């Protein structure tokens, strides 16, 4: 059995409405290496639904495609399961000598307290340990060069002491490094902040760990009655084993 992370794209359409939108979701699943795509299509297909909204209009959620697929080679507890590179709007905020901390803001961090310890050792040992997913933001600083991108990682881990924020920061700090690249310039990979932490419960397999609503640039391409062929998806990996960055 092997762990995988997949990003699926769902389109949400209201009949008669000209503003559909995407719901991009990350799912983690443990499965055999054969027919992985078929298993993900089956899992993601269960997210499809149709109902009437409060105004009596039909609403459809339809699986459009699987956009990324990563196999997790590391131990799943503490592993990076998904990666995304994003442009930086203001590179001057990240000079080469910049230091970061405390890595989160209490007013915008989503956090759920995990199971608490108990004096009853027997009851404590039988309590399932919760899984968490942390969305971490890193920056890659190169000496004498402008920093142009953030490097976001989604990391899953277990925590049983209500210290999930400390564990997320610890895992992020372990991913920091300083090297001299092939051009002879010093590079620093730094944790900028913890964006979100979510509690997944005691079962990780088959769990949705992240969801993001996205606008559609050409909404006319997604009419209410359109059918989709997610089985023809050609998902790409986001993780590069040698560098930790996207290929």
208 and 243: one domain? yes
To the nearest whole percent, how much of the chain has pLDDT over 70? 87
Q: What is the pTM of this model?
A: 0.82
88 and 191: one domain? yes
pLDDT confidence of residue 115: 35
Please check the confidence at residue 116 and state whether its pLDDT lies above 50.
no
Please check the confidence at residue 240 and state whether its pLDDT lies above 80.
no
Please check the confidence at residue 247 and state whether its pLDDT lies above 70.
no
pLDDT band per the 50, 70, 90 thresholds, residue 189: very high
Please check the confidence at residue 15 and state whether its pLDDT lies above 80.
yes
Q: Which two tokens stand for residue 81?
A: 């399961």
pLDDT confidence of residue 43: 82
d(CA 23, CA 25): 6
pLDDT confidence of residue 113: 32
Mean pLDDT of 138-148: 93
Between 173 and 115, the higher pLDDT residue: 173
Of 140, 13, 8, the residue nearest 87 (C-alpha): 140
Residue range(s) defining the domain that contains residue 6:
1-76+204-247
115 and 214: one domain? no
Q: Which two tokens stand for residue 60?
A: 């459809």
Are the CB atoms for 65 and 9 separated by under 8 Å?
yes
47 and 23: one domain? yes
135 and 184: one domain? yes
Between 93 and 243, the higher pLDDT residue: 93
Mean pLDDT of 222-227: 95
Sheet containing 58-72: give its strands across.
49-52, 58-72, 2-14, 21-31, 207-215
Q: Per the structure, how many domains does the chain have? A: 2
d(CA 155, CA 132): 8
Cβ partners under 8 Å of residue 199, min gap 6: 112, 113, 114, 130, 131, 132, 164
pLDDT band per the 50, 70, 90 thresholds, residue 83: very high
143 and 62: one domain? no
pLDDT confidence of residue 191: 96
12 and 103: one domain? no
65 and 177: one domain? no
Mean pLDDT of 159-164: 88
Dihedral sign computed on CA atoms, order 207, 210, 215, 221: negative
40 and 101: one domain? no
84 and 178: one domain? yes
Lowest mean pLDDT among 44-58, 101-115, 153-167, 221-235: 101-115
220 and 113: one domain? no
188 and 146: one domain? yes
Between 204 and 247, the higher pLDDT residue: 204
pLDDT confidence of residue 103: 75
pLDDT confidence of residue 80: 95
- pLDDT by residue (tens digit) across 41-74? 888 888 999 999 999 999 999 999 999 999 998 8
């Amino acid at each position: 059995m092997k762990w995988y992370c997949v990003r699926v794209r769902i389109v949400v359409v209201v009949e008669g409405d000209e503003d559909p939108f995407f719901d991009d979701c990350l799912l983690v699943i443990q499965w055999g290496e054969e027919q992985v795509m078929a298993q993900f299509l089956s899992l993601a297909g269960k997210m499809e639904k149709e109902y009437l909204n409060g105004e009596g209009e039909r609403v459809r959620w339809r699986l459009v495609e699987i956009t990324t697929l990563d196999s997790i080679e590391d131990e799943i507890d503490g592993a990076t399961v998904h990666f995304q590179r994003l442009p930086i709007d203001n590179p001057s905020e990240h000079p080469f000598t910049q230091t970061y901390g405390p890595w989160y803001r209490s007013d915008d961090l989503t956090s759920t307290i995990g199971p608490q310890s108990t004096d009853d050792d027997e009851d404590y040992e039988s309590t399932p340990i919760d899984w968490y997913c942390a969305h971490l933001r890193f920056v890659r600083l190169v000496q004498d060069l402008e920093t142009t991108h953030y490097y976001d990682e989604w990391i899953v881990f277990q925590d049983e002491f209500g210290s999930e924020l400390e564990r997320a920061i610890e895992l992020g700090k372990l991913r920091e490094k300083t090297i001299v690249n092939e051009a002879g310039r010093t590079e620093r990979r730094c944790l900028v902040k913890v964006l979100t932490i979510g509690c997944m419960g005691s079962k990780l397999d088959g769990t949705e760990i992240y969801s993001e609503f996205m606008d559609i640039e050409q909404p006319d391409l997604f009419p209410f009655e359109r059918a989709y062929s997610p089985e023809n998806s050609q998902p790409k990996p986001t993780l590069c084993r040698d560098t930790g960055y996207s290929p």
